[in-house]
Amino acid sequence: MPIVHVYMWSGVSREAKDKIIKGITKVFEELGIPGHAVEVVILEVPRENWGVGGEQASEKFKEERPP
């Protein structure tokens, strides 16, 4: 406890994943939860599977890049 699921567009770099995992774990450590109890799972989803405002992110956010 806790379990954290992160949904992002596919293509996140290994370094960014490491920062997300370390950063989120630290958020809970600062609340007094031991780090070893924090599990973070990053689920990468292709942009054409992600809709915002009724539009596929592959269209709407063509130019943006995942970290």
Residues touching a second copy, count (CB under 8 A):
50
* Shortest separation between residue 39's beta carbon and a second copy, angstroms: 6
Residue 2 annotated to the active site: yes
Output the CA torsion sign for 6, 11, 14, 16: negative
Binding mask 21-40 for a second copy (x = CB under 8 A): xxxxxxxx-xxxx-xxxxxx
C-alpha Rg value of the chain to the nearest Å? 14
Tokens 């009724």 appear where? Answer: 54
Q: By the 8 A CB rule, do 60 and 6 touch? A: no
Active site residues: 2
- Which residues would be at the binding site for a second copy (CB under 8 A)? 1-9, 14, 16-28, 30-33, 35-45, 48-57, 61, 67
